[in-house]
Structure formats: C-alpha cells, structure tokens
Amino acid sequence: MSILNVEHLSHGFGDRAIFEDVSFRLLPGEHIGLVGANGEGKSTFMSIITKKLMPDEGTIEWAKGARVGYLDQHAVLEAGMTIGMVLRSAFDYLYDLEQQMNTIYEKVGEASEEEMTAMLEEAGTISDLLTMHDFYMIDSKVEEVARALGLLELGLERDVTELSGGQRTKILLGKLLLGKPDILLLDEPTNYLDAEHIVWLKRYLQEYENAFILISHDVPFMNDVVNIIYHMENAKLERYVGDYTKFEEVYAMKKSQLEAAYKKQQQEISDLKDFVARNKARVATRNMAMSRQKKLDSMDVIELAAEKPKPEFHFKEARTPGRYIFETTDLVIGYEKDKPLSKPMNLRMERGDKIAIVGTNGIGKTTFLKSVLGIIPMLSGKAVLGDYLYKGYFEQEVKPSENTCIEEIWEDFPGFSQYEVRSALAKCGLTTKHIESKVKVLSGGEQAKVRLCKLINTETNVLLLDEPTNHLDVDAKDELKRALKEYKGSVLLICHEPEFYEGLVNDVWNLEEFSLLS
C-alpha cells in the first residue's frame, strides 16, 4: 500500500511550467533521491506534497494517519527557545497524550463503575502507547541525538538565537529525527553539516526503516543512502531503480537510444516527404504518394527535449598582487569580548595559495573570513592585508533581492548592454525565463548562480568563498571546481565537501585547532 499517491500534478509560475501531468507514489521503506538541475522544481514538489503550496491541478493523497517530517532549506527557529526545548518539542504529541491520561485519572474518582472501567481502559491504552514510543526515555534519546550532531557540547539550555546557521539546521534535523515520522522529507540536509555529522546522518538513513525522500546535490552521500531515484526534468518526473550512479548510466543510455531513434525517424520523414513531392503529381505513382502521405500524417513523431544550458565559469583576473595576501598576528575572533571563539591565531596566506578552511559548525569559519576582510572587528591581535588586492567575496547566505536577475547584474555593472547582461547570466546556466524573473522567486541554486555571475565578471586576484557549493547542482559544482583550478589568483575557501576541495587546494586549515569551543 502506498504512503503517498500523487496523480496528474500540474503546476507553474506565470507562463513557466514546473510540472505537467506528473504522477508519483511512495511505498513503505523506499529511500528516494529526488534529483534534477537547479530550478527544475524539487523544493516546489516538496512544498506541494506537504500542502504548503496548492498545485494548479492534480491530487495529493497521504495514507491515513501517516506522520510526515519535513526539513526544508528555509526553516526557522523562534527566538527565546533553547536547544533542549526545540529537541523535546519532537515529542509534543506524546506530552499531549500524557496530559490526556492524567486528566482521565483525575476524573476517575467522580465516575460511575461503568464509566471508570471505560476510562481506565482508555488510560491503559495511552500508557501502552507512551511505553511503545519510549516516552519515559525521552531525555536519554534527546541526549543521544544531541551528542551525535555535536549539539550537546553547546549546552541544551543555550538560546537558539546565539547559534550559527549550521548549528540551527542541526537542531531542526535532530528534532525531525527524534520524531521518527513514517516518512522523512529532507531538502539538502548536508548543506550545513560537518563531515563527521554527515557520516552519522548517512549511517542513520542507511538503517532507517521507514521511507524518506531526499533532495541533495552531494552525490557520494546520495549513493550511500538511496535505492530509488526520481529525476525531475522538463516538467516531468521519471523513476529509476538504484543509486545515483546507476541512474546516470541508465539515463545516458536512454538518452542515446532516443537520439538514435530520432535521427532514424527524421531520415525516414525526409525520405517520405521527398517521395511524396516527386510522385504526387504523376497519375501512375499518385496512389503510392498518397499512401506515403498517410504514413507521414499518422506517424508518432519523436521530439527531443531542449538541452538545458550548462554553466560556464571563467573568472576575470586582475593584476598580480604582492607576495602576501594576508597575515594574522595573535588574531582572536568573536562577537563579545568575554566570549572569544578562538585562541590567538598566527596564519599567513601567500600569492597563489589555494586554501580550504574546515571545522565544525559554530567554531568561527565565517567569522574568521569576515574578520580578515575587515567586515567585522576582531577582538584582539591584527590581520594585515597585502598590497594590490582585488578581492572577490562570496557570502554563504544573502537575503534574496526584489530585483529581476537583469536588474541585479545591471546594478553592479551599469556599463553592460542588455545583451551583455543576458549573455553573462546565460553563461551561468540560467534560461531566459529565469533571467527575466525576480531573484527572490528562484531556487537556492539559481540564486547562487546569479551571485556567481557577479563574481566571475569582476576582476579579482583573490577569491574568498564561504560555502559556494551549497544549493548548486552537480553540473554547476563540477564547472566551479574546474574554473577555480584554472584561476591563477589565490583562493580561500570554506567548504564542508572534501570531494569538492580535494585536488583544488594546496593546503587545508582546520580551525578546530584554534577553537575555544572544540
């Protein structure tokens, strides 16, 4: 029996179709990877099946009583809540049951013998449910998941507003996993996780007995946890059995077969049209020409979908800088004098270096980058920038603009013609419909491509990149890595994906060595 049935789903934004007559079903125990290029509608699909967004057409039917847990890209936490409060809120439905049971016991003394029997039976059923769901072990379960995600050391009484974006994502993920829903919906859960916590999540999902749907552009991670792939492309959804690598093999073979059939049919159509044109006027061959025309008219013509534009990144390079990019002397970073994030750091980056900054969430990787750049003040020590630096900075998260993509690029490059703006955006893998849309309605990956468009069209000799691969699809990540390897300037890169920075950087700085939190 299906947990979820989606029938004849169609949806679009303006004149842009996202889905056309899509059907989908989820069976118990299926571990599904939902894949596709940026902007194909993966997050929109999640919003529709969780009924946060109403489709234009189609039906979405969940199995009766199915408990759904959803981790989306844009989830938020309320100010004033502690880590422990958020994690324990996964069991709110059990606390409600306990309250219901206690209320029954309070009323038992006033009930008749017949009513008492019924009430005690109901209370017993609730008690069995609480025991079955480990209600009396909640604190140890919360502690176990908090430890696994690196939250325990932060303190369960710590206010969530004091935490980094990655730490808040971990809390939401922890709450979701503690709730053990019948189906997990995970939208890019590894984006803000450290390597060790990705390993833990991978193991958890491998052993997860229930069904889940996972959106991820982390191919090694997906290969390890999914057994079904649904591929979203050109407003359609296709099912493939196996992991992502198996999907790629089958998809490439199907595409090759379709192209071969298309070429063969086009040749046949050309031959038939030529025969009809040459023979329809002659009495002796008119019947044969009419027969060929009928065959043409009844032919089911194969159509090839338009190729999606693949991004091409080529960073513009400025003049050669001085020997040193920056040097820190006893640099201490943080936001409050009495709560430093680091020990004194003495680090130096030289011209031509390509360095990855790694370490667990919340230890100050972004803070370090902003302190060196002078965006935020350091607590003590100093950071001296080198001479003749032309810096390019990619922030991890930026509030989406109200501008269209064209307006967004024009603001930074007013000398560009409209043709140049459109060409620059197209080279980053954006279609005409994306280019003319407002930035805020684009997917996370498409927004990242708009920001990368600004960066590659700016002359730089040092790039400072804070998690640039978050939200990018596989093609865009591969192209970004190629472009950074080709770039002759210096690169300082915060990244949680070893497969991205390996083979690209010449050094790795683990800020945990300097952290006061690790």
User: Are 500 and 453 in contact, with CB atoms under 8 Å apart?
Assistant: no
pLDDT interval class at 72 (50, 70, 90) = low
pLDDT interval class at 244 (50, 70, 90) = very high
pLDDT interval class at 241 (50, 70, 90) = very high
Spatial CB neighbours of 457, under 8 Å, sequence gap ≥ 6:
316, 409, 412, 413, 424
pLDDT interval class at 76 (50, 70, 90) = low
pTM, two decimals, is: 0.78
More confident residue, 396 or 356: 356
Phi, psi for 160 (deg, rounded to 5)? -65, -20
User: Are 38 and 446 in contact, with CB atoms under 8 Å apart?
Assistant: yes
Residues 58-68, mean pLDDT to the nearest whole number = 89
pLDDT > 70? residue 413: yes
Rg (CA), the chain: 28
pLDDT interval class at 151 (50, 70, 90) = confident
Whole-angstrom Cα distance, residue 477 to residue 219? Answer: 11
Chain segment 78-88, per-residue pLDDT in tens = 778 899 999 99
Residue located via tokens 């509030």: 399
Chain segment 314-359, per-residue pLDDT in tens = 999 999 999 999 999 999 998 888 888 899 999 999 999 999 999 8
**In 349-473, alpha helices (H):** 365-373, 405-412, 418-427, 432-435, 444-456
Which pLDDT score, from 0 to 100, does residue 117 have? 85
Chain segment 493-509, per-residue pLDDT in tens = 999 888 999 999 999 99
User: Are 309 and 426 in contact, with CB atoms under 8 Å apart?
Assistant: yes
pLDDT interval class at 213 (50, 70, 90) = very high
pLDDT > 60? residue 518: no
Structure tokens at 13: 């934004």
- Positions of E strands within 63-220: 68-71, 183-187, 211-215
Q: Please write down the long-range contacts of 410-414, taking CB distance under 8 Å and 24 or more positions apart.
A: 412/454, 412/457, 412/458, 413/454, 413/457
Residues 188-216, mean pLDDT to the nearest whole number = 87
More confident residue, 487 or 436: 487
The answer to which of 60-74, 282-296, 445-459, 501-515 has the lowest mean pLDDT is 60-74
Residues 6-29, mean pLDDT to the nearest whole number = 88
Which pLDDT score, from 0 to 100, does residue 307 have? 75
What class, spelled out in words, does domain 324-513 have in CATH? Answer: alpha beta
Which pLDDT score, from 0 to 100, does residue 270 have? 93
Whole-angstrom Cα distance, residue 40 to residue 440? Answer: 16
pLDDT > 90? residue 420: yes
Which pLDDT score, from 0 to 100, does residue 239 have? 94
Chain segment 252-263, per-residue pLDDT in tens = 999 999 999 999
Residue located via tokens 């007013």: 414
Each domain of the chain, given as residue ranges in start order, spans 324-513
Phi, psi for 512 (deg, rounded to 5)? -65, -25
The answer to which of 47-61, 301-315, 326-340, 381-395 has the lowest mean pLDDT is 301-315
Q: Identify the helix (H) or strand (E) that includes residue 176.
A: helix 165-178
Which pLDDT score, from 0 to 100, does residue 477 have? 94
DSSP string, 225-286: H-SEEEEEETTEEEEEES-HHHHHHHHHHHHHHHHHHHHHHHHHHHHHHHHHHHHTTSGGGH
Task: State the helix-helix crossing angle for 138-148 and 165-178, rounded to 10 degrees.
Answer: 140
Average pLDDT value for the chain: 89
Spatial CB neighbours of 366, under 8 Å, sequence gap ≥ 6:
164, 396, 466, 494
Question: Terminal CA-to-CA distance of the chain, rounded, Å?
Answer: 47
Phi, psi for 250 (deg, rounded to 5)? -65, -40
pLDDT interval class at 73 (50, 70, 90) = low
pLDDT > 80? residue 221: yes
Which pLDDT score, from 0 to 100, does residue 282 have? 83
Chain segment 156-186, per-residue pLDDT in tens = 898 888 887 778 888 888 998 888 888 999 9
Which pLDDT score, from 0 to 100, does residue 286 have? 85
